[in-house]
Amino acid sequence: MATLTFSAAQSSSVSGFNHRARHSNLFFVRAPRFFNRLKRRNLSVKNIASDQRQELKDPSVNGEASLETLDSASIAASIQCHAEFTPLFSSEHFDLPKAFVATAESVRDSLIINWNATYKYYEKMNVKQAYYLSMEYLQGRALLNAIGNLELSGAYADALRKLGHELEDVAGKEPDAALGNGGLGRLASCFLDSLATLNYPAWGYGLRYKYGLFKQLITKDGQEEVAENWLEMGNPWEIVRNDVSYPVKFYGEVISKPDGRKEWIGGENITAVAYDVPIPGYKTKTTINLRLWSTKVAPNEFDLRAYNAGDHAKACAALKNAEKICYILYPGDESIEGKILRLKQQYTLCSASLQDIIAHFERRSGKPVNWENFPDKVAVQMNDTHPTLCIPELIRILIDLKGLSWKESWDITQRTVAYTNHTVLPEALEKWSLDLLQKLLPRHVEIIRMIDEELIHTIIAEYGTEDLNLLQHKLKQMRILDNVELPDSVLELLVKQEESSAVDSIKEVRVSDKETESTDEEQAEEQDTDAKDVVTFDPDPNLPKMVRMANLCVVGGSAVNGVAEIHSEIVKNEVFNEFYKLWPEKFQNKTNGVTPRRWIRFCNPDLSKIITKWTGTDDWVLNTEKLSTLAKFSDNEDLQSEWREAKKRNKIKVADFVKEKTGYIVNPDAMFDVQVKRIHEYKRQLLNIMGIVYRYKKMKEMSPEERKARYVPRVCIFGGKAFATYVQAKRIVKFITDVGTTVNHDADIGDLLKVVFVPDYNVSVAEVLIPGSELSQHISTAGMEASGTSNMKFAMNGCILIGTLDGANVEIRQEVGEDNFFLFGAEAHEIAGLRKERAEGKFIPDPRFEEVKAFVRNGVFGHYNYEELMGSLEGNEGYGRADYFLVGKDFPSYVECQEKVDEAYKDQKRWTKMSILNTAGSYKFSSDRTIHEYARDIWRIQPVRLP
């Protein structure tokens, strides 16, 4: 790769700006000393697919501090240079969008210095690296996070003020990167931040989605989806690597070569191109890389003849087929085309990333390459089942392209790859049609069949073939291929066992014939009994043949981890119990965490100052254990007063934000009650809004004086996206917005109750809402939420949780104290019994719940027909009915718990103490702690601090 070059510099003066103007004319720019310093460095970002080594002469590698000398004047001049010489906007005005891009490019210059130094040093030391593969990275805005990690916030604020802008206004022009949707993607981004901060050698890999998931609009009809436009003005953080690209193949056929090796030929060929995004650590030079893949085809795939003949669709078909792979996160998979597209996305991520990782390893290793060392230098973490195809793809590359044997390749893969499970929901444990996979990835299906065969022989070796009922059960639970015929090698083994058993049976019969004679009726009964005991391993022709991706992850990986203590126990005892019995050493827990930099230090500066003051240090940002110091001051009146003032300022920001986004005016003196997360039935936004409807109905039945005495004023805030094809979730969004429309315009209720749905919930919205929240709802059906991470963010910011004993709620409650958590609802071990009780018609609904349903059906909240939504909570069985998520069962407990919330909030001294103790007890839930555990127990990598 060519060495990066920077503009020459003449002077550091800043000229031609009216410092007080918001839109200043850029008359001329004198290139700064900053760029002179950069020019004197011979910097490079290496192409890991190339064997060429570039020299990197950066004094920061040798200990000279390269960024400490940056002052506001040189930063301002750097911003000017980018505004003039690397513009994405016209030159007439230096307005906010242009100021943002120029500022981001200025910051990126600093990141590149550390970025190059980091990987040059890793190359030199040849350290083991972790590679994190995820379909999502929900990063949020990068500017404030980057300059905060570089400790340049003050200098950039001063520099922009010199140029006529405020840093906060400039940062507000950055769109959220549309690379993720929910907790899975946010966790991945927190992990990258912690990896860099803790100096662990690591890369992230993902896809560069052009339109993200979707931008959510809230209209009178509920949720509407439009394409995200986050790349419309360019992305100043990314650097395209046109010389880092890899071929990715679909379809075609597999042929056997004369030497017995397999070759995958023909089919559809695309190219994955790398886009790199630097990820800086906090108070460290370490800057790691997030590599995102975009897809294209070679120019010769464009059919010029068809284009000139007027058949434009045919001419562009190959181009469009390649490009659409990276259009949308999670394209709808109701159609066969949608399923194919999702599989193409997953395979593109896996194939391009592994080719890149292997090229990296080969270059470091020199020649000859010792593949046995691959797991000693590489750890690949699959974030959920989306990257499962890493397993057969790594084996394919090792066998077909590198010439290793099956045994060598299978051993290397099992020692390299690890799997994080994020769900116990059956529909989220991915299964793919075998026929579809066979069509799209024929070579990989061959390899998956080999893995499945290897697994079956392992099961037989463990449990034998004497008890065929037991064997059938084990295979049904554990096989990767579901409803697929057994391999020939296994059938031969079973036939031999059957023949052996038959001989033994004949001998037994002969022995018994000498002693007794049986009647024809007795023989007939014995035959009937034998017929009932017949065990068959034949597939059911009425059911589809499927590939179970989660089973493949467990079999092919070195480790399987859940993401909270209760979740990991469910993984071991229920989801993968048969595998746990076979390989207990594989299973671990790694409770999730969130980065305290973004989620307290940068998004809540008022609270951060208070924490630093009362703990006596700002080391808590890196060592969150020091947050526990706050507990001993929780009754201190001065701390409580400062705490309440900080919360009030944050609530005013939330009120301003709500007015801007929804038009509703809310009272900052009311309790801010928030539930923001992906809209899903198991997360039970429906329980929350039904509780609000009950509250509203009771208010309406009271006199104004009774209402005021009974109820604490509340602002109930919702946010989150319903998947575009998830009809029931979209009904819930519609219901929430309809309730809000009615309640918020009811003059009798006034400020006692407001209901707000904030559209297009994302990281930037969370960074406003979470610091100003006072009660946060984490109310999923027990045993169904793997962990949750927003619960951790809320607790860190002094927000009190109401929730079930589910996911990380269990551990949060332990750490913050039972008295500082509002608990309700059935527990995980009760859920199966409660569903069985419902199916048997024994459930008796609470009268209050029936009252709410009747109230909704009366049309109080508009003309929309909510029969399908209310009907889902009724009946004893059937898809979409029988209240599978136990909203009705937990409703009375929830309502009564909310009454306790009101009582606690009336005592502000008590409430503030609870708030302080939530922050003090949240120290465990830093992603730094989680990453240390991954590094030690799964990846076996060590921190590498630059000299």
Residues sharing a CB contact under 8 Å with residue 524, sequence separation 6 or more, in sequence order: none
**Nearest of 690, 873, 776, 685 to residue 698 by alpha carbon:** 690
Partners of 279 in the beta sheet? Answer: 288
* pLDDT value for 6: 30
Region label for 752, one of left (φ > 0), alpha (ψ between -120 and 50) or beta (otherwise): alpha
| Active-site residue (options: 33, 82, 377, 793) | 793
CA nearest to 188, candidates 425, 348, 381: 381
Q: Could you write out the DSSP letters of every residue in 175-205?
A: PPP-S--SHHHHHHHHHHHHHHHTT--EEEE
Q: How many residues are listed for the chain in this entry?
A: 947
Residue 520: the pLDDT is: 55
What is the predicted pLDDT for the residue at 519? Answer: 53
10 Å Cβ neighbour count for 410?
Answer: 21
Which one from 789, 804, 912, 919 is the annotated catalytic residue?
Answer: 789
- The three-state DSSP-derived secondary structure of 165-181 is CCHHHHHCCCCCCCCCC
Based on the residue annotation, tell me whether 586 is a catalytic residue of this protein. Answer: no
Which residue matches tokens 């060929």?
A: 269
Q: Is there a catalytic annotation at residue 683?
A: yes
Contacts of 921 by beta carbon, 8 Å cutoff, 6+ apart: 627, 628, 631, 795, 812, 815, 816, 817, 820
Q: How far apart are CA 287 and CA 65, in angstroms?
A: 15
Annotated catalytic residue, options 98, 449, 677, 684: 677
Three-state DSSP at 275 gives strand
Tokens coding 216: 């959510």
Asked if 115 contacts 45 with a C-beta cutoff of 8 angstroms, the reply is yes
> What is the structure's pLDDT at 373?
97
Residues of the chain with pLDDT under 70: 1-69, 498-533
* Structure confidence by residue, pLDDT tens digits, 292-325: 999 999 888 888 888 899 988 988 988 999 999 9
- Give the per-residue pLDDT at 300: 85
Tokens of 794: 């809320």
Examine the residue annotation and report whether 648 is marked as an active-site residue of this protein: no
Is residue 804 flagged as an active site residue? Answer: no
Q: Please, what is the Cα angle at 417 between 411 and 420, to 5 degrees?
A: 140
C-alpha span between 105 and 409 (Å, rounded): 43
Q: How far is Cα 738 from Cα 220, in angstroms, rounded to an integer? A: 8
Dihedral sign of CA atoms 431, 434, 435, 436 in order = positive
pLDDT at position 513: 42
What does the pLDDT read at residue 731?
Answer: 97
Concatenated DSSP letters for 460-519?
Answer: HHHH-SS-HHHHHHHHHHH-SEET-PPPHHHHHHHHHHHHHHHHHHHHHHHHHHHH----
| Catalytic pick among 141, 683, 707, 730 | 683
CB 776 within 8 A of CB 794: yes
The answer to whether residues 289 and 241 touch, using CB atoms and an 8 Å cutoff, is no
Which member of 141, 165, 678, 913 is catalytic? 678
Q: Which of 128, 342, 422, 853 is catalytic?
A: 422
